[in-house]
Amino acid sequence: MEALIGNTIERALLDKGYCCHSAPPDYKFRVFISGQKRRVTPQTKRELRRRSAIEPVIGHLKPEHRIGRN
């Protein structure tokens, strides 16, 4: 993923369906899940709200354009 975007990933904003990741132990990034209360800054809260705003758009695109698991 980093080769595609050209930056290192510092944090991931995910929904409650997220289970776990298989990143190597030396690879450090923060995982924030919607509804999380601890260690959430105002900027992270704003980003989580933005993510929840675009989630319905992604949900409608999946069945209409056959991108079910992307």
Q: In whole angstroms, give the CA distance from residue 40 to residue 45.
A: 7
Q: In whole angstroms, give the CA distance from residue 2 to residue 4.
A: 5
Given a cut of 70, is residue 70 above it in pLDDT?
no
pLDDT confidence band for 69 (50 / 70 / 90) = low
Tokens of 53: 């705003």
Q: Which domain holds residue 34?
A: 2-64
Q: How far is CA 7 from CA 2, 3, 10, 11, in A?
A: 6, 8, 9, 12
Q: In whole angstroms, give the CA distance from residue 43 to residue 47.
A: 6
∠ CA 36-40-42, rounded to 5°: 125
Q: What is the pTM of this model?
A: 0.63
Residue 23 lies in a domain: yes
Residue-wise pLDDT for 2-31, tens only, equals 788 888 888 888 888 787 778 778 888 888
Residue-wise pLDDT for 29-63, tens only, equals 888 888 888 989 999 999 988 888 888 888 888 88
Residue 69 lies in a domain: no
Number of domains making up the chain: 1
